[in-house]
């Protein structure tokens, strides 16, 4: 295991129905000017917006809206938020949404004097509220890439708030969680560590609950478990002592930069093909993964099982399923602009990434 330093600064409040009480408690810590950040409108449709404003006014806060944060948030949107936060001299940014709102606000809150940030998670999967990384799309330069911002001061994870998320997004979010675990597991070193053994448990749990929620969207235990698994995937615990892989994510991010596709769905299409390209370079680890996570003997069977799961829960298996047709020069551009990660067991070349994308078409 590699050496590490670990510090986790986020106060996490988890539990069904915990939202109002924990938010009220948290608000006592901050000044009066709150910038309320949210996405494209789901919080108004679900009535959450009104509940939030009532709580904020009840706590004596003035509220300024920063709405319209789109899935796959753009650099322009971040800049708009930064300007607004400065203008109103925000004492707290309250980000209410999924990974896109959280990511956008982590960068908005960054500055010479960082602004405190709280995240109310309404769609789980990314675990964005657990770390200080943010994935932002620079539309002009066609790059979807990681930026480093602030950690949230607090995060509220109330599974009840996710009940209105469209099922497609619930499934895609859960697959994203599984991907984060796998991409950490297959990083370096490839010897099995405590982090990997905890990781295997989180993967088994995510797979089981992904199946359960796909069968029954009213399964509250599955919904709660997936929300906590999402947090576990990105709160750093599984990454201790490891250099993560995240090569599949890098390909998906560039696919996203060119197509604005859904993140979890893009990963579902890419993962099996990507693993068929790399497993020979870490066959022992892939065999262990087969036995501990999928309860089969060999790597190839495990990759088949992963593909079966993707089919079973109704995720797309080809780019065509997602409505994406890539022109030849776009495939080349995506491959050429994909970051090659140091943690992957095989160093991919742009040619091989091109090949993977063609096989996924």
Angle at CA 165, nearest 5°, toward 164 and 167?
Answer: 115
Binding at 272: pick from ligand NZQ, Zn ion, none (beta carbon under 5-8 Å per type): none
What minimum distance in Å lies between the beta carbon of 350 and Zn ion? 22
Distance CA 163, CA 166 (A): 8
Q: Which is nearer to Zn ion, 48 or 255 (CB)?
A: 255
What minimum distance in Å lies between the beta carbon of 118 and ligand NZQ? 16
What minimum distance in Å lies between the beta carbon of 31 and ligand NZQ? 26
Binding at 116: pick from ligand NZQ, Zn ion, none (beta carbon under 5-8 Å per type): none
Total residues contacting Zn ion by CB under 5 A comes to 1
One of 15, 40, 189, 241 touching ligand NZQ (CB under 6 A): 40
Rule CB under 6 A: say whether 98 interacts with ligand NZQ. yes
For 24, phi and psi rounded to 5 degrees?
A: -60, -45
What minimum distance in Å lies between the beta carbon of 44 and Zn ion? 27
Q: Which is nearer to Zn ion, 176 or 287 (CB)?
A: 176
Q: Which is nearer to Zn ion, 26 or 234 (CB)?
A: 234
Rule CB under 6 A: say whether 127 interacts with ligand NZQ. yes
Q: Which residue is nearest to Zn ion (CB)?
A: 176
Of residues 131-160, those binding ligand NZQ (CB under 6 A):
131, 133-135
One of 61, 263, 285, 288 touching ligand NZQ (CB under 6 A): 263
One of 12, 23, 39, 250 touching ligand NZQ (CB under 6 A): 39
> Buried b / exposed e across 281-314, counting CB within 10 Å, b at 16+?
ebeebbbbbbebbbebeebbebbbbbbebbeebe
Binding at 46: pick from ligand NZQ, Zn ion, none (beta carbon under 5-8 Å per type): ligand NZQ
Distance CA 71, CA 90 (A): 24
Distances (CA, A) of 213 to 174, 176, 277: 10, 15, 30
Of residues 164-223, those binding Zn ion (CB under 5 A):
176
Q: Which is nearer to Zn ion, 176 or 245 (CB)?
A: 176
Cis peptide before 326 (omega within 30 of 0): no
One of 16, 25, 82, 164 touching ligand NZQ (CB under 6 A): 164
Rule CB under 6 A: say whether 97 interacts with ligand NZQ. yes
Q: Which is nearer to ligand NZQ, 126 or 205 (CB)?
A: 126
Rule CB under 6 A: say whether 46 interacts with ligand NZQ. yes
Residues near 180 by beta carbon (within 8 Å), at least 6 away in sequence? 127, 233, 234
For 65, phi and psi rounded to 5 degrees?
A: -80, 140
One of 22, 42, 74, 254 touching ligand NZQ (CB under 6 A): 42
Of residues 227-256, those binding ligand NZQ (CB under 6 A):
234, 249
Binding residues for ligand NZQ, rule: CB under 6 A, are 39-43, 46, 71-72, 97-101, 103, 122-123, 125-128, 131, 133-135, 161-162, 164-165, 169, 173, 176, 234, 249, 263-264
Q: Which residues bind Zn ion (CB under 5 A)?
A: 176
């Amino acid at each position: 295991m590699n050496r590490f330093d670990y510090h986790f600064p986020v106060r996490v409040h988890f539990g069904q129905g915990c939202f109002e009480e924990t938010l009220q408690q948290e608000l006592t810590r901050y000044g009066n000017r709150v910038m309320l950040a949210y996405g494209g409108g789901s919080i108004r449709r679900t009535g959450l917006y009104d509940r939030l404003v009532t709580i904020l006014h009840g706590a004596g806060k003035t509220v300024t809206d920063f709405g319209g944060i789109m899935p796959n948030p753009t650099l322009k949107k971040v800049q708009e938020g930064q300007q607004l936060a400065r203008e109103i001299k925000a004492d707290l940014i309250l980000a209410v949404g999924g990974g896109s709102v959280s990511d956008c606000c982590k960068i908005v809150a960054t500055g010479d004097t960082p602004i405190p940030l709280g995240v109310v998670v309404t769609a789980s999967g990314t675990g964005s509220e657990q770390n200080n990384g943010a994935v932002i799309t620079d539309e002009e330069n066609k790059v979807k890439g990681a930026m480093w911002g602030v950690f949230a001061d607090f995060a509220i994870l109330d599974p009840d708030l996710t009940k209105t998320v469209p099922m497609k997004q619930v499934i895609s979010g859960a697959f994203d969680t599984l991907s984060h675990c796998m991409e950490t597991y297959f990083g370096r070193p490839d010897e099995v560590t405590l982090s990997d053994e905890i990781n295997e448990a989180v993967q088994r749990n995510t797979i089981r609950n992904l199946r359960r929620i796909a069968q029954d969207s009213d399964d509250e235990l599955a919904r709660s478990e997936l929300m906590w698994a999402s947090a576990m995937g990105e709160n750093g615990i599984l990454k201790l002592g490891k250099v993560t892989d995240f090569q599949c994510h890098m390909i998906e991010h560039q696919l996203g930069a060119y197509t604005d596709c859904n993140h979890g769905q893009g990963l579902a299409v890419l993962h099996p093909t990507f693993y068929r390209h790399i497993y020979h370079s870490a066959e022992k680890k892939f065999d262990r993964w087969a036995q501990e996570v999928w309860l089969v003997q060999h790597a190839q069977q495990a990759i088949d099982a992963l593909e079966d799961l993707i089919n079973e829960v109704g995720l797309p298996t080809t780019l065509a399923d997602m409505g994406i047709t890539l022109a030849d020069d776009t495939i080349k551009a995506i491959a050429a602009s994909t970051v090659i990660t140091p943690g992957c067991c095989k160093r991919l070349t742009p040619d091989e990434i091109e090949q993977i994308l063609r096989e996924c078409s």
